[in-house]
Chains A and B, each alone.
Chain A
Amino acid sequence: MAARRLSSLLSRSLAASSSSGSASLLSSLGRSSGCGKSIHRFSTAAAEELIIPPVQINYTQNLINGQFVDAVSGKTFPTYDPRTGEVIAHVAEGDAEDINLAVAAARKAFDEGPWPRMTAYERSRILLRFADLVEKHNDELAALETWNNGKPYEQAAKSELPLLIRLFHYYAGWADKIHGLTVPADGDYHVQTLHEPIGVAGQIIPWNFPLVMFAWKVGPALACGNTIVLKTAEQTPLTALFVAKLFHEAGLPPGVLNIVSGYGPTAGAALASHMDVDKLAFTGSTDTGKIVLELAARSNLKPVTLELGGKSPFIVCEDADVDKAVELAHFALFFNQGQCCCAGSRTYVHERVHDEFIEKAKARAVRRVVGDPFKKGVEQGPQIDSEQFEKVLRYIRSGIKSNATLECGGDRFGSKGYFIQPTVFSNVQDDMLIAQDEIFGPVQSIFKFKDLDEVIRRANATRYGLAAGVFTKNLDTANTLTRALRAGTVWVNCFDVFDAAIPFGGYKMSGIGREKGIYSLNNYLQVKAVITPLKKAAWL
């Protein structure tokens, strides 16, 4: 209750004049507020006593060949608490030399080690044991994730850690069911396909869901019998080291999973261009994805999976359940501080329900509870770092400048850390920058549309194609939109439904390939066709 009160929202107009907050604000206040009119008071999360994370940072070195080691250069880099911008640990800074060591370890573990040679069932048991260990350390890991990333602790503990556990259960189940085919060839031949592990996988993961992204990458790669060099995001190096330690406790042989912390242009680039890495999987921005693909092309033509940016439409049709659509559109955008590649960042609302929708969407955003992510009931923590924080604020200014209507929010929240007010723009036009670029922050843009063909055209008029939301009760509308939208995921009357079994990935410049589900296995398998003549075949 206190948390809710303390973290109430403030509007742009008062942000500058408010100093530290009295803790008197009611969550209902926002409901009557028009932008810049009503009285907003707030208390910054930073002004409050921040909760001390109930976890210690034990692992800061690179994990190579089963050992925690310093960077070859001896260098470290600071990692921060985004609530305050303060340093919480110094982490070994891997660069090309460390990547070389990690790749050599992974290479050896693949070429000579037990991992690809043990039975798939034994591999599955190790994955299951790992999942059990993570479950045991659930709260600790969630605390570390929140501390380093700023996401609500409840979200990390009750939704993301269980997702990771579920994913490893899921891929453990695949390990012993990876089937090749016997193939009917034209002629007297016996033909089979062997689905072999692809080798050493290089994986580069982002900071927005450090553990979930770890799971998406590592789960299928290990289930298929590969070895891995994983580079974490420089903003969030901590939890991957912790879980990788647990993996070794679960019986993972040394060298199978190597973790290097470091920056993209050094460590990341070295991994992407390494001649002994057989496969690369990257999740991050479209710009970086291009570089990764180029490095792979220039080096050894390693196949690349890319899961990149998005500007996903969320389409509310005239027959939609408006209240539900408002809530889900809000969730689709603001979830994880808006730092989701599949955020529903273009909300298209049919003109007949548009005004009602705006009112309710604004009211919902104003009610959003921002504050210390460790506090119960807090829905939104800080953005990840000052760079993202500044970038989001720049986009907000751009939206205002281009004459979109600022319904609420529009500025930083509080005076310390990287908190941003939940921000809603209406009257957004397709050609505005906020309609085109991935903002990656708590900024909702609402558009108006008249008919289905129009919204299909507009929704598809983007270089991205990661996901889409469709809100309608009409079966035919749902089917038409589902097929017409050029996006890798379409959520109909729901959003952000993630499950280990559901493939995820982008059309167009949102990426290449699919992760999760049975589809992700293909990323980590080579197909070998084996052909031999048949003598006197009983049948063909």
Chain B
Amino acid sequence: MGSHGNDNLESSVKIPTIKFTKLFVNGEFVDSISGFNLSLSLCDRSISMFLLVCHVDKEDVDLAVNAARHAFDDGPWPRMPGSERAKRMMKFADLIDQNVEELAALDTLDAGKLFSMGKAVDIPSSADTLRYYAGAADKIHGDVLKMSREFHAYTLHEPIGVVGHIIPWNFPTTLFFLKVSPALAAGCTMIVKPAEQTPLSALYYAHLAKLAGIPDGVLNVVTGFGPTAGAAICSHMDIDAVSFTGSTEVGRIVMKAAAESNLKVVSLELGGKSPLIIFDDADVDMAAQLALIGILYNKGEICVASSRVYVQEGIYDKLVKKLVEMAKAWVVGDPFDPKVQQGPQVDKEQFDKILTYIEHGKREGATLLTGGKPLALGGKGYYVEPTIFAEVKEDMLIAKDEIFGPVLALAKFKTIDEAIKRANSTRYGLAAGIVTKDLDVANTVSRSLRAGTIWINCYFAFGNDCPFGGYKMSGFGKDSGLEALHKYLQVKSVVTPLYNSPWL
């Protein structure tokens, strides 16, 4: 079950020297005020590595906010033309391209992510994200309005101010740039708190930002835990907006802290339990492939994972057979090994949580088709077998909760209406997939599903221009696309009387 890669691998990948472990405030790497460090365990492979990274408290956050506030209120960043911000963002992107290998290694060390994917996809596409928003920085248009009386009125889309970004550990680089790029383009200044598990690449990016000419204080990075550093950001009186990606339960805390402090604008990109609906007319190979990747990509540690797969009865048996075969052939092992398709879960807590859910699944009466166990590679690491449960009902825990691991819940359905109803019977609404050749089915289901992204005959089809974000308890506000830019803008209406205008 779940074959695995070479487990005594002497990696061909050079483990980089870790250059940046302090927090980055006002253009400098500085120690935390408390002097405390957090101990970071690096990607549990055969060798254990630990690293001390500065641990940030409220006082450190205050310093970072001061720097960002000053950079916004008095600094050059919001005062330079969008084209000039764009130029520096382009430079920033080029610097990322020049350091791909080292950056990918940092994310692999931190999060156990596949090195090859990081190098080929995560890191370069983040440079692309920066370039996309660089291209938007000089295109932030307000409107000139149609007043119903003799007034001239227009809107100014102004940068919202100081932004706090709190990002998770599953896509340290991708999410860093999904948040930072539009905020930079808008002319905001910011404090980024990466997850405590994955601070290294964020610190490196801060360094590159400085090299690219992003002025001091515009981009600050504080490393620390949610209840201290994160909470300090959410309840800070001088932060104008907070943008959070993470779990729904923490999202609720973020919003509450914002409400209780200065009512800062909040955007939340939270959990999901996204359905993939496969209709009878689907191409079996394609559907099985989408279902498999949908749950196993990034070890299932992705908020949009297609963790519930609904298959129409006519195609069900064929599809399940195929899917199980593919899951068994899936290669789990050292993420630095290019043959490996799945690395370890990020940490022990996640690992244990996933195994607990698997036990729940068994107890609740779902049928375990494959997987279901930890994989002991050299007796170490947090590896979990690709796991598929069938006959899953909506009231089972494994159908309701976000597991955030390689655990798929399969169910059979008869009609479109049934599929829509069951797919929507969740408190989440992040994404959904549809596999069908029928145009009408595709259109009907697209409009009926209460989710922020619908992928038809594809999955994980993200794009810089394609807004992404949730319905219901998956959050609000969009990342990606021009929508994300508007998250970081305030709209000001300006009105003045008109005299003798030849037209109104």
Q: Does A190 contact B (CB under 8 A)?
A: yes
B86 cross-chain contacts in A, Cβ below 8 A? 169, 173
B443 cross-chain contacts in A, Cβ below 8 A? 190, 532, 534-535, 537
| Chain B residue nearest to A452 in the complex (CB) | B500
How far is B152's CA from A538's CA once the two chains are assembled, in angstroms? 40
* CB of B187, distance to nearest CB on chain A (Å): 15
How far is B136's CA from A176's CA once the two chains are assembled, in angstroms? 10
Segment at the B interface, from A38-46, A316-324, A476-484: A476-484
Q: Does A11 contact B (CB under 8 A)?
A: no
Determine if B139 and A480 form an interchain contact, defined as CB atoms under 8 angstroms apart.
no
Determine if A177 and B83 form an interchain contact, defined as CB atoms under 8 angstroms apart.
no
B444 cross-chain contacts in A, Cβ below 8 A? 534-538
Q: Does B283 contact A (CB under 8 A)?
A: no
Determine if B498 and A483 form an interchain contact, defined as CB atoms under 8 angstroms apart.
yes
Determine if B135 and A518 form an interchain contact, defined as CB atoms under 8 angstroms apart.
no
* CB of A508, distance to nearest CB on chain B (Å): 15
Determine if A170 and B141 form an interchain contact, defined as CB atoms under 8 angstroms apart.
no
Instruction: Give B109-143 as 1s and 0s: 1 = Cβ < 8 Å from A's Cβ atoms.
Output: 00000000000000000001001101111110100
Which B residues, 231 to 266, have Cβ-Cβ distances below 8 Å to chain A?
Answer: none
B-binding residues in A (CB < 8 A): 121, 124, 128, 166, 169-170, 172-177, 179, 190, 453, 475-476, 479-480, 483-484, 500-501, 518, 532-539
* CB of A273, distance to nearest CB on chain B (Å): 36
Subset of 25 A-B contacts with CB under 8 Å: A121-B128, A121-B464, A128-B131, A170-B83, A173-B134, A173-B135, A173-B139, A176-B132, A177-B132, A177-B482, A179-B482, A453-B500, A476-B499, A480-B499, A483-B152, A483-B501, A500-B138, A501-B138, A532-B443, A533-B440, A534-B443, A534-B444, A534-B447, A535-B440, A537-B444
Determine if A176 and B465 form an interchain contact, defined as CB atoms under 8 angstroms apart.
yes
Determine if A480 and B498 form an interchain contact, defined as CB atoms under 8 angstroms apart.
yes
* CB of A181, distance to nearest CB on chain B (Å): 13
How far is B87's CA from A111's CA once the two chains are assembled, in angstroms? 34
| Chain B residue nearest to A132 in the complex (CB) | B90
Determine if B500 and A172 form an interchain contact, defined as CB atoms under 8 angstroms apart.
no
Contacts A476-B499, A534-B447: A174 and B132 contacting too (C-beta < 8 A)? no
A166 cross-chain contacts in B, Cβ below 8 A? 83
Determine if A173 and B138 form an interchain contact, defined as CB atoms under 8 angstroms apart.
yes
Determine if A479 and B447 form an interchain contact, defined as CB atoms under 8 angstroms apart.
no
* CB of B121, distance to nearest CB on chain A (Å): 14
A-binding residues in B (CB < 8 A): 83, 86-87, 90, 128, 131-132, 134-139, 141, 152, 416, 439-440, 443-444, 447-448, 464-465, 482, 496-503
* CB of B135, distance to nearest CB on chain A (Å): 2
Please tell me which one of the listed residues B439, B440, B447, B501 contacts residue A480 in the complex, with CB atoms under 8 A apart. B501
A-B contacts besides A177-B132, A177-B139, A190-B447, 15 pairs, CB < 8 Å: A128-B90, A128-B131, A177-B136, A190-B443, A475-B496, A480-B500, A480-B501, A500-B138, A518-B141, A532-B439, A533-B440, A534-B440, A534-B447, A537-B447, A538-B444
| Chain A residue nearest to B128 in the complex (CB) | A121
Contacts A483-B501, A535-B443: A170 and B138 contacting too (C-beta < 8 A)? yes
How far is B500's CA from A537's CA once the two chains are assembled, in angstroms? 49
Contacts A532-B439, A534-B447, A536-B444: A484 and B138 contacting too (C-beta < 8 A)? no
How far is B131's CA from A172's CA once the two chains are assembled, in angstroms? 10
A535 cross-chain contacts in B, Cβ below 8 A? 440, 443-444
Determine if B503 and A483 form an interchain contact, defined as CB atoms under 8 angstroms apart.
yes
Determine if B503 and A173 form an interchain contact, defined as CB atoms under 8 angstroms apart.
no
Determine if A173 and B499 form an interchain contact, defined as CB atoms under 8 angstroms apart.
no
* CB of B439, distance to nearest CB on chain A (Å): 7
B135, B439, B499, B502 — most chain A CB neighbours (10 Å): B135
Determine if A479 and B135 form an interchain contact, defined as CB atoms under 8 angstroms apart.
no
* CB of A434, distance to nearest CB on chain B (Å): 28
B128 cross-chain contacts in A, Cβ below 8 A? 121
Determine if A518 and B139 form an interchain contact, defined as CB atoms under 8 angstroms apart.
yes
Interchain pairs with CB closer than 8 A, number: 88
A483 cross-chain contacts in B, Cβ below 8 A? 152, 498, 501-503
How far is B132's CA from A124's CA once the two chains are assembled, in angstroms? 9
B464 cross-chain contacts in A, Cβ below 8 A? 121, 176
How far is B501's CA from A476's CA once the two chains are assembled, in angstroms? 10
B500 cross-chain contacts in A, Cβ below 8 A? 453, 480, 484
How far is B482's CA from A128's CA once the two chains are assembled, in angstroms? 20
How far is B445's CA from A537's CA once the two chains are assembled, in angstroms? 8
B141 cross-chain contacts in A, Cβ below 8 A? 518
| Chain A residue nearest to B132 in the complex (CB) | A176
How far is B180's CA from A310's CA once the two chains are assembled, in angstroms? 45
Please tell me which one of the listed residues B90, B132, B482, B496 contacts residue A479 in the complex, with CB atoms under 8 A apart. B496
* CB of A113, distance to nearest CB on chain B (Å): 23
How far is B86's CA from A500's CA once the two chains are assembled, in angstroms? 14
Contacts A169-B83, A480-B501: A177 and B465 contacting too (C-beta < 8 A)? yes
B136, B137, B444, B500 — most chain A CB neighbours (10 Å): B500
B497 cross-chain contacts in A, Cβ below 8 A? 476
B132 cross-chain contacts in A, Cβ below 8 A? 121, 176-177
* CB of B184, distance to nearest CB on chain A (Å): 14
How far is B131's CA from A538's CA once the two chains are assembled, in angstroms? 37
B137 cross-chain contacts in A, Cβ below 8 A? 173
B482 cross-chain contacts in A, Cβ below 8 A? 177, 179
* CB of B238, distance to nearest CB on chain A (Å): 32
* CB of A412, distance to nearest CB on chain B (Å): 41
The 9 residue pairs across chains A and B that have the minimum distance between CB atoms: A173-B135, A538-B448, A538-B447, A483-B501, A535-B440, A480-B500, A536-B444, A535-B444, A484-B502
How far is B499's CA from A484's CA once the two chains are assembled, in angstroms? 10
* CB of A514, distance to nearest CB on chain B (Å): 14
* CB of A478, distance to nearest CB on chain B (Å): 10
B499 cross-chain contacts in A, Cβ below 8 A? 476, 479-480
Please tell me which one of the listed residues A174, A480, A533 contacts residue B135 in the complex, with CB atoms under 8 A apart. A174
B135 cross-chain contacts in A, Cβ below 8 A? 124, 169, 172-177
How far is B439's CA from A532's CA once the two chains are assembled, in angstroms? 9
| Chain A residue nearest to B424 in the complex (CB) | A538
How far is B499's CA from A179's CA once the two chains are assembled, in angstroms? 37
A176 cross-chain contacts in B, Cβ below 8 A? 132, 135, 464-465
How far is B501's CA from A453's CA once the two chains are assembled, in angstroms? 11
* CB of A456, distance to nearest CB on chain B (Å): 8
Determine if A174 and B502 form an interchain contact, defined as CB atoms under 8 angstroms apart.
no
B136, B138, B448 — most chain A CB neighbours (10 Å): B138
B90 cross-chain contacts in A, Cβ below 8 A? 128
A169 cross-chain contacts in B, Cβ below 8 A? 83, 86-87, 135
How far is B87's CA from A169's CA once the two chains are assembled, in angstroms? 9
How far is B137's CA from A128's CA once the two chains are assembled, in angstroms? 15
| Chain A residue nearest to B151 in the complex (CB) | A479
B440 cross-chain contacts in A, Cβ below 8 A? 533-535
| Chain A residue nearest to B141 in the complex (CB) | A518
Contacts A169-B83, A480-B500: A501 and B139 contacting too (C-beta < 8 A)? yes
* CB of B111, distance to nearest CB on chain A (Å): 26
| Chain B residue nearest to A475 in the complex (CB) | B496
How far is B446's CA from A534's CA once the two chains are assembled, in angstroms? 11
B131 cross-chain contacts in A, Cβ below 8 A? 121, 124, 128
* CB of A525, distance to nearest CB on chain B (Å): 16
B496 cross-chain contacts in A, Cβ below 8 A? 475, 479
How far is B137's CA from A170's CA once the two chains are assembled, in angstroms? 9
How far is B138's CA from A452's CA once the two chains are assembled, in angstroms? 36
* CB of A205, distance to nearest CB on chain B (Å): 24
B503 cross-chain contacts in A, Cβ below 8 A? 483
Please tell me which one of the listed residues B447, B498, B501 contacts residue A539 in the complex, with CB atoms under 8 A apart. B447
How far is B447's CA from A169's CA once the two chains are assembled, in angstroms? 37
How far is B141's CA from A518's CA once the two chains are assembled, in angstroms? 10
* CB of B144, distance to nearest CB on chain A (Å): 11
* CB of B489, distance to nearest CB on chain A (Å): 16
Contacts A535-B443, A538-B447, A538-B448: A173 and B136 contacting too (C-beta < 8 A)? yes
| Chain B residue nearest to A119 in the complex (CB) | B463
| Chain A residue nearest to B133 in the complex (CB) | A173
How far is B440's CA from A453's CA once the two chains are assembled, in angstroms? 61
| Chain B residue nearest to A484 in the complex (CB) | B502
